[in-house]
Amino acid sequence: MKILVTAKRVTDPDSKIQLKPDRSGINLDNVDFKMNPFCEIAVEAALQLVDAAGDGETVVVAIGDSDATKEIRTAMAMGCDRGILVEADEAQLDSDAVARVLAAICVKEKPDVVLLGKQAIDGDSNQVGQLLAEYLGWPQATFAYKIALNGTSGATVQREVDGGVETISLSFPAVITTDLRLNEPRYASLPGIMKAKKKPLEETTASALGVDLSLKVESIGFEPPPARKAGVKVKTVDELIEKLAGEAKVI
């Protein structure tokens, strides 16, 4: 079984993200970067699926500037076999461009499964997996919570949806996007990190893949979210009830 998995480089989910004072973009001073948490879950899922299938290959892809090599190496240290970096300026990407780049790679690599995160925690778009699946004409299971292989030809996937957990079955090749409860990603081991340094990493570009990067969705500005002022501390339950009934009128 061959799996393609993504590793997007994003701002650390624990950093406090703020606009630059002139609102022209995000202030990235003192912000750390790491692999998108949903991609870590996708990498773990890819490794587990190959294990479950008995054999196979996992190829990790990142689209971004050369720093994204770090996330590819991290995925290889976790166990992915090889990597592909598609060099592109992050500011010149939208979810659609990423999906079309990935589609071009799928045409070349012919994976059985593509595993992605359900969303990137910077842009919060939640689109790439679905767009990719449609461009390829493949089935999809978004928001995966549990994946059970049906032999090597398909899978039954439980999905986190409004109102509960939905089960679908699909046949490969297919796209699966991960939700938080799918697994707990492993840490890269020291030997893993050493091995990753020697694993093959191919560098390419969108134009080499024949993908036009003109943006369908373009940023035209930013604003800070409306500020919520911290309210008051109440000392007792009675005082809280009095505030809720009198001042806030919500009970």
Ligand X SMILES: Nc1ncnc2c1ncn2[C@@H]1O[C@H](COP(=O)(O)O)[C@@H](O)[C@H]1O
- Site residues (CB under 6 A) for ligand X? 6, 8, 36, 38-39, 42, 61-64, 93, 95, 98, 116-117, 119-120, 123, 125-129
Burial readout 119-152 (b: 16 or more C-beta within 10 A, e: otherwise): bbbbbeebbbbbbbbebbebbbbbbbbbbebeee
Interaction of residue 125 with ligand FAD, rule CB under 6 A? no
Instruction: Answer yes or no: are the C-beta atoms of 64 and 9 closer than 8 Å.
Output: yes
The Cα 134–Cα 139 span in angstroms is: 8
Beta bridge partners of 33: 11
Q: Segment near other proteins (CB under 8 A), from 44-52, 66-74, 188-196, 225-233?
A: 225-233
Instruction: Answer yes or no: are the C-beta atoms of 58 and 46 closer than 8 Å.
Output: yes
What is the footprint of other proteins within residues 35-74 (CB under 8 A)? 38
> Which segments of 33-173 are extended strands (E)?
33-35, 57-64, 82-87, 113-117, 140-150, 154-161, 164-171
Beta bridge partners of 85: 62, 203
Angstrom CA distances, 71 to 28, 35, 55, 118, stand at 18, 6, 24, 18
- In angstroms, what is the minimal distance from the CB of 68 to ligand X? 7
Residue from 180, 188, 193, 209 binding other proteins (CB under 8 A): 180
Computed over its alpha carbons, how large is the radius of gyration of the chain?
21
- Between 13 and 200, whose beta carbon lies closer to other proteins? 13
Interaction of residue 13 with ligand FAD, rule CB under 6 A? yes
In single-letter form, the type of residue at position 105 comes to: I
- Between 22 and 212, whose beta carbon lies closer to ligand X? 212
Interaction of residue 210 with ligand FAD, rule CB under 6 A? no
- Between 107 and 165, whose beta carbon lies closer to other proteins? 165
Residue from 21, 151, 191, 231 binding other proteins (CB under 8 A): 231
- Give the number of residues in contact with ligand FAD, rule: CB under 6 A: 3
CA 201-71-51 angle, to 5 degrees, is 75
- In angstroms, what is the minimal distance from the CB of 112 to ligand X? 17
Interaction of residue 121 with ligand FAD, rule CB under 6 A? yes
- Between 81 and 90, whose beta carbon lies closer to ligand X? 90
The Cα 8–Cα 138 span in angstroms is: 22
Residue from 34, 37, 60, 71 binding ligand FAD (CB under 6 A): 37
- Between 121 and 149, whose beta carbon lies closer to ligand FAD? 121
39 binds, among ligand X, ligand FAD, other proteins, none (CB under 5 to 8 A by kind): ligand X
- In angstroms, what is the minimal distance from the CB of 10 to ligand X? 9
Interaction of residue 168 with ligand FAD, rule CB under 6 A? no
Burial readout 51-78 (b: 16 or more C-beta within 10 A, e: otherwise): eebeebbbbbbbbbeeebbebbbbbbbb
Binding site for ligand FAD (CB under 6 A): 13, 37, 121
